[in-house]
Amino acid sequence: MTNLTEREQELLASVPKGLLIAGQWQEASSGKTFPVADPATGEVLAHVADAGRADAEAALDAADKVQADWARTPSRQRSEILRRAYEIVTERADDFALLMTLEMGKPLDQARAEVVYGAEFLRWFAEEAVRDYGRYVTTPEGNNKILVQQKPVGPCLLITPWNFPLAMATRKVGPAVAAGCTMVLKPAKLTPLTAQLFADVMIEAGLPSGVLNVVSSSRAGEVSGPLLRDPRLRKVSFTGSTPVGKQLMAEASENVLRSSMELGGNAPFIVFEDADLAKAVEGALAAKMRNMGEACTAANRFLVHEDVVEEFTAAFTTAMQELKLGRGTEPGSTVGPLIDGRARDDVHALVLGAVEDGATIALGGRFGEGAGYFYEPTVLTGVPHDARILGQEIFGPVAPITTFSSEAEAIALANATEYGLASYIYTRDHSRLLRVAEQIEFGLVGFNAGVISNAAAPFGGVKQSGLGREGGAEGIAEYTTVQYIGISDPYKN
């Protein structure tokens, strides 16, 4: 007996389940597959080919073989492929949204918002592809010439997480295509279906065979390890947790690989005493609850000035209470399930640990009902500054609130983490914003805004949140390398 509607079954049937190697969807060489399940019900949605070492190597062979031709393809042509892919993803927005809701659990509205965000990387990098500037200048001595050109870095390994199945793929594939790189994409094993469908769209948009290869796998290390050691691979771009990122960086060091790392976060959400509290509550809800809190940018620590903490907490708790748990396809559902049982157990353990450390549960703190991995929106108050929950990425719908009494203390608390991805500041004072932004060590700052991700902006972290930037003018530079040609004095030749 299935929980799936006819429309859902038809959509799932239309998704390619094989590996994409050299333009062909094919079975894994071992013949193995792995199941993909709906976290709202536990029902298996599909079985996907399970790549191993030989498949990964075949994918890199394919990418390497076409790299030189692809690099010479006119940038206008690469741009138009991306533009067509943007249009197809946008036309098929309902399919992509439903597929993400099915395999990842987020409410349909949020999945639709991800389609818009994810597609935007294709449009943005279609526009960036043709803006490839070099320079030609005379040396300061006034004799020789300096010629600087950008070249594609070469075949890339792209590894993506499960929390934003479409956007994390387009954020890498978009700039790689724009720059003229070939790719091996390994999506997360929990949510490969969206990436599989997206790869099919790239083929439909005209991407030549071998430029994008997809090796979904339940054994990530077996796929990535041999590729990272292969001298033909020139870059790894990874989005995921900090521990896995560190391990990949260690492996990548053997071949001194270009590495982009989008890792974990521990975002402070700072509410100053002069903030517009209604706006702060609205922003807090978005920054905490988008994706059920399963976002690297999720507000992880609410630092609220002691003069306004009571008012903020009351309004925020009411707003959290009004959210509705449910399968993402259910009308009115605003909070879907967590990705799996382990994720839910980890979140619950953090909540119990916070209580041991002195926090009070003002709301939630319990599993939701039903077969899925639901966890109730949770608010923790009176959280001591040294509570363990403030030192870890929660990745769930839990909001710990703590207080500060001065701007200097807020800054010190915000920086008291090894992470440095997103941060949020609520104040009406623009000078304070600039003063605080100067002093906090985060790659992204939301000013009176709870959601700031945008394809046109450079996204990325400092400290252990990673290396490199995705999106913006910076995004394409991650996929190019600089060549300098020194030209002797043309008057002396």
Q: Enumerate the active-site residues.
A: 262, 296
**Site for ligand NAD contains 472 (CB under 6 A):** no
DSSP 176-209: HHHHT--EEEE--TTSHHHHHHHHHHHHHTTPPT
Q: Which is nearer to ligand NAD, 180 or 461 (CB)?
A: 461
CB atoms within 10 A of CB 116: 14
Q: Which is nearer to ligand NAD, 265 or 446 (CB)?
A: 265
**Site for ligand NAD contains 101 (CB under 6 A):** no
Question: Under the phi-then-psi rule, with left for phi > 0, alpha for psi from -120 to 50, and beta for the rest, what region is 27?
Answer: beta
**Site for ligand NAD contains 188 (CB under 6 A):** yes
Contact 284, 299 (CB under 8 A): yes
Applying CB under 6 A, which of residues 88, 119, 184, 263 lies at the interface with ligand NAD? 263
DSSP 321-357: HT--B--TTSTT--B---SSHHHHHHHHHHHHHHHHT
The tokens describing 469, both together, are 């930037």
Contact 492, 152 (CB under 8 A): no
Applying CB under 6 A, which of residues 23, 42, 221, 382 lies at the interface with ligand NAD? 221
Q: Report the candidate in 68, 395, 373 with the shortest Cα–Cα distance to residue 234.
A: 68
Q: Kindly indicate which of the ranges 52-60, 257-265, 275-283, 425-433 contains the residues binding ligand NAD, using the contact rule CB under 6 A.
A: 257-265
Contact 219, 193 (CB under 8 A): no
Applying CB under 6 A, which of residues 39, 155, 161, 420 lies at the interface with ligand NAD? 161
Applying CB under 6 A, which of residues 41, 67, 110, 160 lies at the interface with ligand NAD? 160
Q: Which is nearer to ligand NAD, 11 or 263 (CB)?
A: 263
Give 458-463's long-range contacts (Cβ < 8 A, gap of 24+): 459/171, 459/262, 460/262, 460/421, 461/262, 461/263, 461/265, 461/419, 461/420, 461/421, 461/422, 462/420, 463/417, 463/418, 463/419, 463/420
Q: Kindly indicate which of the ranges 61-69, 133-141, 261-269, 303-311 contains the residues binding ligand NAD, using the contact rule CB under 6 A.
A: 261-269
Q: Kindly indicate which of the ranges 70-78, 216-224, 360-368, 378-386 contains the residues binding ligand NAD, using the contact rule CB under 6 A.
A: 216-224
Applying CB under 6 A, which of residues 11, 48, 220, 277 lies at the interface with ligand NAD? 220
The per-residue b/e assignment along 322-348, b for 16 or more CB within 10 angstroms, e otherwise, is ebebbbbbeeebbbbbbbbeebbebbb
**Site for ligand NAD contains 300 (CB under 6 A):** no
Residues 403-422 that bind ligand NAD (CB under 6 A): 421
Q: Which is nearer to ligand NAD, 160 or 423 (CB)?
A: 160
**Site for ligand NAD contains 323 (CB under 6 A):** no
The tokens describing 23, both together, are 């333009």
Applying CB under 6 A, which of residues 86, 162, 424, 442 lies at the interface with ligand NAD? 162
DSSP state of 391: G
Distance of closest approach, residue 161 Cβ to ligand NAD, in angstroms:
3
**Site for ligand NAD contains 145 (CB under 6 A):** no
Residues 421-440 that bind ligand NAD (CB under 6 A): 421
**Site for ligand NAD contains 262 (CB under 6 A):** yes
**Site for ligand NAD contains 239 (CB under 6 A):** yes
| Residue of this chain nearest to ligand NAD (CB atom) | 240
**Site for ligand NAD contains 284 (CB under 6 A):** no
Amino acid type, 58: A
**Site for ligand NAD contains 455 (CB under 6 A):** no
Distance of closest approach, residue 343 Cβ to ligand NAD, in angstroms:
8
**Site for ligand NAD contains 466 (CB under 6 A):** yes
Side-chain half-sphere CA neighbours of 11 within 13 A: 21
Rg of the chain over CA atoms, in angstroms? 23
Distance of closest approach, residue 185 Cβ to ligand NAD, in angstroms:
10
Q: Which is nearer to ligand NAD, 309 or 343 (CB)?
A: 343
User: What is the rounded distance in angstroms from the CA atom of residue 22 to the CA atom of residue 137?
Assistant: 41
Distance of closest approach, residue 150 Cβ to ligand NAD, in angstroms:
24
Q: Which is nearer to ligand NAD, 283 or 443 (CB)?
A: 443
Residues 34-93 that bind ligand NAD (CB under 6 A): none
Is the CA virtual torsion 413, 418, 420, 424 positive or negative? negative
**Site for ligand NAD contains 446 (CB under 6 A):** no
The tokens describing 471, both together, are 């999106």
Q: Report the candidate in 26, 211, 247 with the shortest Cα–Cα distance to residue 236.
A: 247
**Site for ligand NAD contains 196 (CB under 6 A):** no
- The site for ligand NAD (CB under 6 A) is made up of 159-164, 168, 186, 188-189, 220-221, 224, 239-241, 244, 247-248, 262-265, 296, 393, 421, 461, 466
